[in-house]
Amino acid sequence: MKTLRYAHSRESIDKAIGYLREKEWVRSDARFNPDAEGGLRGEIGYRDYDLLLMLGHTPDEAPAVEGALDLLREHGLIAKDAGAYDRDVFLDMRKRIAGFDGAWTSLSDVMERLIYALTAARQPKVLLELGSFWGYTLAYFAGPAIGPSPEYRAERIYGVDINEAMCEKARANFATLPNTDGVTIIAGDGRDVIDQIEGPIDFLYVEAKPDDGSEFLYLELLKRYYDRLAPDAWIIAHDTTARGHLDEMVEYLPWVRDPAHFRASICFDLDRYGLELSIR
Ligand SMILES: C[S@@+](CC[C@H](N)C(=O)[O-])C[C@H]1O[C@@H](n2cnc3c(N)ncnc32)[C@H](O)[C@@H]1O
């Protein structure tokens, strides 16, 4: 079992601390201390909430994602030549997705690019996002297979959300993009719609959580879909290092890091929210 963690380079961290100094969010003599317990304005630990905000929107976004792909290559989790997504196609998609009508998102710039790059590297035929909201996260997840210049062809792309109004919005948003015939938005509880999903799922994206935090759905959903996953499926779960979701992760993370369930699991610790990729 490979349990890996990938974080920003020291150079990006120092740059982000420079912005915090400029904004006077930290003292002018503040320095990075990887061992700092956090919260101190003169010594900044990696879990510092403001540092993670800056790192999620770092100008080093592209090299950070390249480093993440390199880590997967080094560990034999993707082929040496996989993950060479087209930077210009990505930026064009970003412009188009920015035009989507919707509410807020917690997806940082780095995560947008990472999720897009992971799909480009894996090239899944069947993609499913549980908790697809107004389509923003799904558009990055499915990005390499949709839009004016798809990087590959997927067979089916599903988004599921319990909120019907958000599903309507997602459908309208996808209608603004070319090559989205394969996208199906299903309004329903992710636990109940499994029979509407056709074929082994190559790439599953878990985002479903009730607004009031009344239920922890990630592990329940993953267990429900586990037998429907392709033998070499990938799963991403967003918000795995996020404040407000840590209790949910107490069960989810050990389960995906158990070699009985996945052969590798990687924590992309790149912003306030985090993303865990688990590979079957
Ligand atoms: C708030 S979104 C996640 C947002 C995401 N982190 C982002 O940055 O855009 C979580 C979604 O999960 C959906 N959800 C909650 N319970 C669900 C369930 N049982 N099945 C499917 N979707 C569900 C909610 O309706 C909501 O749209």
Query: Which domains are delineated in the chain?
Result: 1-55 (no CATH), 60-279 (3.40.50.150)
Whether 238 lines ligand 1, by a CB cut-off of 6 Å, is yes
Ligand 1 centre distance from Cα of residue 216 (Å): 11
The ligand 1 atom at the shortest distance from the C-alpha of residue 217 is 19
pLDDT of residue 82: 78
Residue 184 CB–ligand 1 contact under 6 Å: no
| Secondary structure, 3-state, 160-187 | EECCHHHHHHHHHHHCCCCCCCCEEEEE
Whole-number Å distance, alpha carbon 27 to ligand 1 midpoint, is 38
The answer to whether the CB of 166 is under 6 A from ligand 1 is yes
- Asked if residue 173 has its Cβ within 6 Å of ligand 1, the reply is no
- Among the listed residues 231, 169, 241, 166, the one whose alpha carbon sits nearest the alpha carbon of residue 200: 231
Q: Is the beta carbon of 244 within 6 A of some atom in ligand 1?
A: no
Produce one character per residue of 31-62: b if its CB has 16 or more CB atoms within 10 Å, e if not. Answer: ebeeebeeeeeebbebebebbbbbbbebebbb
Task: DSSP letter for 117, please.
Answer: H
Averaged pLDDT in 10-residue chunks for the chain of 280 residues: 92 94 84 73 83 96 97 94 89 97 92 98 98 97 98 97 97 97 97 96 97 89 98 97 88 97 97 97
Ligand 1 contact, 189 CB (< 6 A): yes
CA-CA distances (angstroms) from residue 8 to 40, 56, 169, 230? Answer: 20, 10, 34, 31
Q: What number does the ligand 1 atom closest to the CA of 166 have?
A: 27
207 lines ligand 1 (CB under 6 A): yes
Task: Give the integer Cα–Cα distance in Å for 163 and 233.
Answer: 27
Kindly tell me the sign of the dihedral angle through the C-alpha atoms of 7, 143, 196, 227: negative
Which residue from 137, 161, 197 has its CB within 8 A of the most atoms of ligand 1, so it is best to mutate? 161
Residue with CA nearest ligand 1 atom 27 = 133
Closest residue CA from atom 4 of ligand 1: 105
Q: What is the pTM of this model?
A: 0.93
Query: What distance, in Å, lies between the first and last C-alpha atoms of the chain?
Result: 10
CB of 16 within 6 A of ligand 1: the answer is: no
Residue 18, both tokens: 């420079």
Q: Kindly report the protein residue whose alpha carbon is nearest to atom 19 of ligand 1.
A: 189
What is the model's pLDDT at position 40? 56
The pair of structure tokens assigned to 32 is 């990075």
Q: What is the pLDDT of residue 38?
A: 56
